[in-house]
Chain A
Amino acid sequence: MKTILFVDDEPFVLNSIKRILRKERHRWESHFAEGGQAALDLLERRSFDLLVTDMKMPAVDGFEVLGTAELLHPNMPRMALSGYSEKETHTKVTNLAQRFLDKPCESEKLIKAIEESLGETDRDLN
């Protein structure tokens, strides 16, 4: 089973992701970190198959989470999911993450992006 770590400082966002991914529970194991610091603590201990993080968070922000993840687990794909729509942030994120999804984002789009990041659509196509 593929493991995914979701990071957001807003617990309601994590809850909504947990609900929407419940039906995918047989293929994906979701983990949740409330805030950047919690994410760093988890990433120090283990790796995941995919990291999905919010960008704007107090204290430890998404840039720090993505940067640390790159150092600790260079092969783990990284995705940003953020309500911040500034061009500047976009450019900066693309250096650290392979994908950037804007909030609000439909669950179909999120699921498709996760599948692509995990290389699952490629396998389906083959």
Chain B
Amino acid sequence: MYPNIGNGKDRADRMKNNDRSLYSVMLQNEELRDTLGKMDLVLAQIVESIVWTDSDGKIKWCNGSFDDLCGKLRLFILGNSLSELLPLDCSESCKEIHPCDKLLRDKADLDTVCRFKRGDQAFDLEIQGRAFISREGERSAVFVIRDITRRNLLEAQLRQAQKLESIGSMAAGITHEINTPVHYVGENLRFIEESISDMQKLFLKLLDCSGKPITNDDWPEINSLIESIDLEFVQEEISNAVRESLKGISQVANIVKSVKEFAHPGEPAMELTNLNEAIESTILLSANECKYVADVSSDLCPDLPLVPCIGGKLNQVFLNLIVNAAHAIGDNLRDKKSGNKGQIEVKTHSKGDYVEVEISDTGPGIPDEIHGKLFEPFFTTKEAGRGTGQGLAIAKKIVEQDHHGELSFETQLGKGTRFLIRLPVSQGL
């Protein structure tokens, strides 16, 4: 039974309507195609890789950047698992779970940075992901992946530059620290040299008399020799000169050792480190920055566990915080025209899964309005030439990103500031 299509006029109207709706469907299809084409174009041009996987991590769709990232044709990507296409760069023993599997397991939003490998090449990727259930009830996940290898490289170079800057700014201080003992050791050696040659004269005179008893005639000459070389003084001072020189030499040796430890040449690798030792050598190295404005004391926990860390990087953090403290106190003394030295105190504590390093000063404190900017790169309150504002920004990055720790501070105007570094004793993820 055909539907009643009515009389001629009705039919013509209806056909016109049908044409119109057919036309509008065609138009809509064209618009859709157009929109899809645009979307495709846009998604293909996005620098970030976008990947859509099913609940098993098999890739349902990806954009062009992901093809480039994997170095594979789309054909070999679709249907394969993301964790196989982008394997993590870690050793056999590494128990790290692939972020993709983690997202599918935990179903919590993912935002992480990992190192992956492609052939021999390692690269750092920042991955954000979200799991969701589609309208059809299908579980799946979308990942946005950004290649940050180059950015990491630049940041590493910046850190290196800041490290050189902090070593450079201390070079004058270190020179002074070394020059002083070198000066008195040199003077003492000259004194010892002269004293020995004086004593030899006396010995020779006494040897002249040996074999035969010293007669009354010999005494005036011997006595005047004793007086001219000031025997009593020389005898006493030679041993003092040697003792003080040995102290001076060991001071120089300690400074040189600290510079070496600070610079920490070689591949930056995580290794179990005695933080107390690292802190002691940093304090020694910064002595010249500090000792004219503050007394530096340390209260280091004797049972501090070894902490996995990149020694060279953490030394840089300690140094920055100590030198900042000294500058804060020094500027304050200058402003107040006060001759009283401040205090810098470095403490370590063991707190179960964490160790804490506390660096506090009796400086002027940090005003409220700059609390938020303190860790921003290039933010500095120091005059030009005294700092580029990289120190705290890099310190925070080293503590929090490289060591999964925390760097925080407490401050009170007019009283001082305390920086607190918390580092996990175990770095397992």
Q: Is the CB of A20 within 8 A of B233?
A: no
Nearest-neighbor residue (CB-CB) of A110 within chain B: B187
Residue-wise interface mask of B (178-201) relative to A, using a CB-CB cutoff of 8 A (1 in contact, 0 not): 111111111110110010000000
Q: Is the CB of A12 within 8 A of B179?
A: no
Query: Within 8 Å CB of B234, what residues of A?
Result: 22
Query: Within 8 Å CB of A106, what residues of B?
Result: 186, 190
Q: Is the CB of A10 within 8 A of B180?
A: yes
Q: Is the CB of A15 within 8 A of B240?
A: yes
Which A residues from 13 to 27 make CB contacts under 8 A with B? 13, 15-17, 19-20, 22-23, 25
Query: Within 8 Å CB of A107, what residues of B?
Result: 186-187, 190
Nearest-neighbor residue (CB-CB) of B228 within chain A: A23
Q: Is the CB of B237 within 8 A of A19?
A: yes
Q: Is the CB of B292 within 8 A of A16?
A: no
Q: Is the CB of A86 within 8 A of B248?
A: no
Check if B247 is an interface residue, CB within 8 A of chain A.
yes
Contact of B184 among A13, A22, A56 (CB under 8 A): A13
Check if A74 is an interface residue, CB within 8 A of chain B.
no
* B: contact size bracket: 20 to 34
How far apart are the CA atoms of A60 and B233 in the complex, in Å? 32
Contact of A83 among B183, B185, B188, B240 (CB under 8 A): B183
Given contact pairs A15-B244, A58-B341, A20 touches B180 in the complex (Cβ within 8 A): no
Contact of A86 among B172, B182, B187, B240 (CB under 8 A): B172
Q: Is the CB of A16 within 8 A of B244?
A: yes
Given contact pairs A16-B241, A19-B237, A22-B233, A83 touches B180 in the complex (Cβ within 8 A): yes
Q: Is the CB of A84 within 8 A of B244?
A: no
Contact of A104 among B183, B291, B293 (CB under 8 A): B183
Given contact pairs A12-B248, A16-B188, A60-B339, A105 touches B176 in the complex (Cβ within 8 A): no
Given contact pairs A10-B184, A19-B241, A58-B341, A104 touches B179 in the complex (Cβ within 8 A): yes
How far apart are the CA atoms of A25 and B182 in the complex, in Å? 24
CB A92 to nearest CB in B, in angstroms, measures 14
Which B residues from 292 to 329 make CB contacts under 8 A with A? 292-293
CB A11 to nearest CB in B, in angstroms, measures 9
Q: Is the CB of B187 within 8 A of A20?
A: yes
Residue-wise interface mask of A (23-63) relative to B, using a CB-CB cutoff of 8 A (1 in contact, 0 not): 10100000000000000000000000000000011111100
Given contact pairs A17-B187, A22-B233, A85-B172, A57 touches B292 in the complex (Cβ within 8 A): yes
Residues on A facing B (Cβ under 8 Å): 10, 12-13, 15-17, 19-20, 22-23, 25, 56-61, 83-86, 102-107
Beyond A12-B184, A104-B186, 16 additional contacts (C-beta under 8 Å) are A13-B183, A16-B183, A16-B184, A16-B191, A17-B187, A19-B237, A19-B241, A20-B190, A22-B191, A22-B230, A25-B230, A83-B183, A103-B182, A104-B183, A106-B190, A107-B186
Residues on B facing A (Cβ under 8 Å): 172, 175-176, 178-188, 190-191, 194, 230, 233-234, 237, 240-241, 244, 247-248, 291-293, 339, 341
